[in-house]
Structure 1
Amino acid sequence: MSFDQLSSLESGRRGSPSFSDDPDFQRLSQDLRNKLFKLSGNNQRLKGELGHLGTRRDTPRVRERVHELLEESRGLFKDVGEGIKKVQTWDDVTPTQKLTQQKLSREFQSSLATFQDLQRQALERQKASVSAARAAVDVESGASPSAESSAQLLELQQQQELERLAPQDEVDFQEALIIEREEEIRNIEQGVGDLNVLFQQVAQIVGEQGEQIDTIAYNAQNVQTDTRAADLELRSAARYQRNARSKACCLLLILAVILTIILLAIFLG
């Protein structure tokens, strides 16, 4: 049985009077919709900023915006995730509220999946940036490059056309940037892990709600089947009762005729 059919059955059981949704549920749902809309916009902005990383448009300001968007979105996703869990476990929901539950959970899971993909892209580009910076520092400090970074080093040498060793303060500055980016890499990795846990929790709750809906639908279908069977039995009983009544009337009529004949015979004899 589909969800629409289940909603129709439950609406029928509720009767003709209209029911209004819980105001608290409405407020929470609207707040979640607003945050999900903002998260959708953040995903679009983050996608655009990530497209600049590793290109000529890659600047400290771009990396700062990427960091801010990642931090803001992580916090919002955690807030929305807690709200989604609360909405999914709401007591005594109406069919309309059930539809709201499903829509919010779908939008949350879709938006979070997109954000997780963007976080992984940011992680990959940050790691590539750190590897390239490490290779540059190795060259500037006179260290021999490793086999893994030789290709990146060659490309970096061709692009920058290094002709002399950089001053020590430049090397120190690059080292500080590398440490900062490595810290950002750790933050992104932790954020990916935390949101994966949140995604699994919400998915589990949604799955449990789906099982409950399936159980309700199954029970409602059984009730409908039992009701139809009972109706058939009642119709059969009524038909048998009518037949029995007709037979009884016929017997009474025959007895009356016989009795009349007997009485006439007695009076006439």
Structure 2
Amino acid sequence: MKWFEIILVVLTLGSGLVVLLDKLYLRKRRAEKASLLDSEEPAVVDYSRAFFPVLAVVLILRSFVAEPYKIPSSSMMPNLLIGDFILVNKFSYGFRLPITNTKIIPVSEPKRGDVVVFKPPHAPDQNWIKRVIGLPGDRIGFHGDTLSINGVPMVYEDRGEYVGKGRGAEMTGASLLSEQLPGRTHTILELLGRADPRGQGDWVVPEGQYFVMGDNRDNSEDSRFWQQTHFLPEENLRGKAFLIWLNCEGWFCKGSFEPSRIGTGIQ
């Protein structure tokens, strides 16, 4: 959440400034009034000295290395379940400043099939997660239950009927399919023959933007349904999801808990 990021940055900078001022000026001033053995260090300096290293490490890790997120919806089933806690690689697509998300060092660009966390253009205060389907310049089509990229329909393999658990039990009975994207194969869920007509159409992805979709094709508010723009700007990316480190629904893991998902890589 952006408010947490702002608070973390303010506390880190504030405590760091107090430590710096104490080292350059305040300590000398105290030494002039009394011997260092007898002088008392102000509480704000003491707390700043104790917390600054911890805050700085958390800020650096969270901003430039990896950030945790929790999956709140079923839009990425069957690959990500409600209650999955995931880690997002923050430097996959470049190093970005906290709060503003401004890229300062480019690293690489998203690849087709990557699962990404981003701020949707119509809800910039939220973090969403979807799969990159269309790259800049691609022609994306979705008609009936079939995705096509640059005029080529994707190949699907029937993997049987899906059986959901916990809050995802509502998807029991959906078709579990293997979708073969160019260079990447992953699983999706579809209620065959029940595709939402509002999500049908053809789109050409502009430069610097991406077309994203959820793996739960009939329960995902993705690029197909965004009204003002169907595309995700590159600058809205937060990072690439790569690991599930816990699955837990409800407070204190009351309800569903799947230990087998701990440490699972995100494909």
Task: Specify which structure has the higher proportion of strand.
Answer: 2
Greater RCO between the two (CA within 8 Å, min separation 6)? 1
TM-score, normalised with respect to structure 2: 0.31
TM-score between the two structures when normalised by the length of structure 1? 0.31
> Normalized per residue, which structure has more helix?
1
Tell which structure's C-alpha radius of gyration is larger. Answer: 1
